[in-house]
Structure 1
Amino acid sequence: MLKTKIRMEKSILTQIEGKVAYIKFNRPKKFNSFNREMALLFQDELKACAENKAVRAVVLTGEGKAFCAGQDLQEVTDPELNPGFKKILEEHYNPIVALIRSLPKPVIAAVNGVAAGAGANLALACDLVVANEKASFIQAFSKIGLIPDSGGTFFLPRLVGFQRALGLAMLGDKVDAIEAERMGMIYTYFSSETFEDEVQKLATKLANMPTQALAHIKSAYNESMHNSLANQLALESKLQIASAQTQDYKEGVAAFMEKRKPEFKGE
């Protein structure tokens, strides 16, 4: 009996346009939920973006109607495929969050549709979250007897406040893009008609800014999550001195003095 060959699409698609890397979750029939193969491939793509000097901004988005529905529950309920929650967290999601936060370039989550569970929290771990007006965010964990992971218990309270974050985590309420912007969960939202163009404009703008300064800003805000004021002031001094030694700083000052638009090169 002949076996039908099934063409397997890559679960992560990466395309570099100019100075921007667009990473797309590509399991649309599964609402871009993560399995092990997808999680490990995503890590590889983030590492490649970090190392590629030509890439100066990264955009994460989803194929089809969803951004990402979190963990593929079919994988965790399959006795042969299930890697177990310890491996899922320690080898999949935790390294992904760490890579996003340490990547020395701005990372934009372009939430095109529903972002649920780990999918929502991976978006919130990004530097800027922008959403299609029809997108939504759901802390879906409690609905199946779990707790928020993928940094959700860290980022969400800092974005929307302790009381609201706890309510969203316990009740699993759906938050639309307009409400998410109002409560400070995301940076902004765009209409469905202009979403892709606006994302491209934002990413291109960031990619043409002084990349090392943006990386230092990211580092400073990362450390501010746990630093004392004294430690944060010391860090600001260190990062400001480093920023002032870049070619982009020299270009920025020269352009200001010459009353022209600066041409930053990320150096």
Structure 2
Amino acid sequence: MTQGKAFKRGVTWAHIVTFILATAMAYVLAVLSSLIFPVLGAPGVSALYVASSVYVPLGIWMGGWGALAGYLSCLFLGLYPSGYTLYQSVIWAFADFIEAFIPALLFRILRIDPDFTVKRGAAARLFPVFVSTGFIILILGIIIQVLLGSLGEPFTSIYVASVYTGLGLAVIGIMLGLLVGDAKTWGVYIASIILTSVASGIWGAATLTLYNVPPPLPAELFWPIFTGWVIGDFIVLSVLSTGILTALTPIFKRTGLYVEGWWA
């Protein structure tokens, strides 16, 4: 406290360095996702866009820094390896800006201090089991698909089963959080998952097929791209982002990197 007012930390070099590292990590994840789980005929689009798993946490934790990291990582993805022009990439990249901006906006305009813990009764013991198990199963499925998916069955089926199993467990964990955790945090987080997936999918698919200078892909690909984008985002955000937020939010909030406003 200083003169009766809470001390507010300004932008530091730690914010800038973390932003740069987050952008680089998101770009690497975006490239790998688009190459390993492509939506056919749509360079840069992934049916399981693992990079989105970091955008929502970054938006909640770091506000504008997270949104900017999402934008730049997608801009670079559009340029390479997707092969879009600079103009096309500049417009398309707002799709990943949206992925961090929506949760950042909701948590800030509603003045919600994110609390992803569950502390009451048996749910407090079951919650981390569902969330962490779903996270681990999906990660293992992704690893199996990357290393052995080219061999076909049974590895492809194992991967598909891991996606649905991980999603099911994560959804149960999210519902437990909503019922016996901080209802505001979990309610806004659920809204963020849905709004982020749909809004980002609309922008991403539309600026690839309908509205750009010029659109790099044919208009008839809008619905396949949109559908793959939204479903993939919903899975990744529900499973991976939930695991990241529940495990790391308490730690991140204790550091000088946590941003209550948009930049500090």
Q: Which has the larger radius of gyration?
A: 1
TM-score, normalised on structure 1?
Answer: 0.27
The two structures have a TM-score, normalised by structure 2, of 0.27
| Structure of higher RCO (CA pairs closer than 8 Å, 6+ residues apart) | 2
More helix by percentage: 2
Structure number with the higher strand fraction is 1
